[in-house]
Amino acid sequence: MVDRVERSGVFCWNRKPLKVKALSTLLYYSGLSYRVVAGVLRGFARFSHESVLLWFRRLRKAFPKPKRKCRSLVAVDETKLKLRGEHLFVWAAIDTKTKEVLACRVSWTRNIMQAEAFLRKVLETCTKKPLILVDKGPWYPEALRTLGLKWRHVTFGMRNRIERWFGTLKARTKRFHNNFPNNPTIKSAKTYIETFDTRCNALPKTKT
């Protein structure tokens, strides 16, 4: 991971060791808060908790996005988080074979238009139209028909991977009660989700 971060050049000024930056983002991804991470690594280097946030956000540029290729099965879903006390919807799609998170989207509403916009983003990673696995959300069928996509309603089984991804996301956001802190904007929430997504794709995939 450190070698990949170094090659990416996302950290132009290396006043702190790259290993410390990489380890701090890994610890934060694992569930520790910015302040706790800064405290745990104080013996290696002194830095503020704001630095951990900055390094975490920059990390998303260190790893490549999923390549555009032929994909057979893609599971999609959405969940609720909060931003300034208001419900926010996070959409995500996972290739059930490669386990890659293909796309994510953050929106204030959950409807057919948002579903179609999200599915278009998913298709940017596909050379051919895959079979889409969905739950029974009423916003999906019309959006899928508009894009000429075939779909299947699946509650368990092949959709378990995306359920686990949302479970991991909720486990991380639980530390701030699933409500983005520090007067955030929808843009900063989107940055957080995209960085989480990128870091998740960079981890070794386990066989299931």
pLDDT tens by residue, 9-22: 666 666 777 778 87
Residue-wise DSSP of 69-80: B--SEEEEEEEE
Residues 16 and 44 sit within 8 Å (Cβ to Cβ)? no
Task: Dump pLDDT digits (tens) for 163-180.
Answer: 888 988 888 777 666 667
Query: What is the pLDDT at residue 11?
Result: 67
Quick check: is 79 in a domain? yes
CA atoms within 13 A on the CB side of 67: 3
Measured over the CA atoms of residue 140, residue 145, residue 148 and residue 151, the dihedral's sign is: positive
pLDDT at 92: 95
Instruction: Return d(Cα 60, Cα 63) in angstroms, integer.
Output: 6
The DSSP code for 126 is: B
Do 52 and 88 fall within a single domain?
A: no
Are 54 and 80 part of one and the same domain? no
- Structure tokens belonging to residue 47: 């830095």
pLDDT value at position 6?
63
89 and 51 inside one domain: no
In this structure, the answer to whether residues 94 and 175 fall within a common structural domain is yes
- Answer yes or no: do 50 and 78 share one domain: no
The answer to whether residues 41 and 28 touch, using CB atoms and an 8 Å cutoff, is no
The H or E element spanning position 132 is: strand 131-134
Distances (CA, A) of 204 to 87, 100, 107, 199: 32, 11, 29, 10
pLDDT band at 200 (very low <50, low <70, confident <90, very high): confident
How far is 114 from 5, CA to CA, in rounded Å? 34
Q: Do 129 and 150 touch, CB atoms closer than 8 A?
A: yes
Structural domain of 28: 2-59
Task: Please check whether residues 22 and 90 belong to one and the same domain.
Answer: no
* Tally of structural domains, the chain: 2
- Please give the pLDDT value at position 9: 63
Distance CA 78, CA 72 (A): 20
Identify whether 161 is part of a domain. yes
Residue 16, in any domain of the structure = yes
> Are 80 and 42 contained in the same domain?
no
pLDDT category at 8 given cuts 50, 70, 90 is low
Determine the pLDDT at residue 144: 97
Q: Looking at the predicted structure, is the pLDDT value of residue 5 above 70?
A: no
Residues 120 and 143 in one domain: yes
More confident residue, 27 or 122: 122
Residue 12: DSSP 8-state: S
Cβ count within 10 A of residue 87 = 11
181: pLDDT strictly greater than 80: no
Whether pLDDT at 208 is above 60: no
> Quick check: is 106 in a domain?
yes
In a domain, 194, yes or no: yes
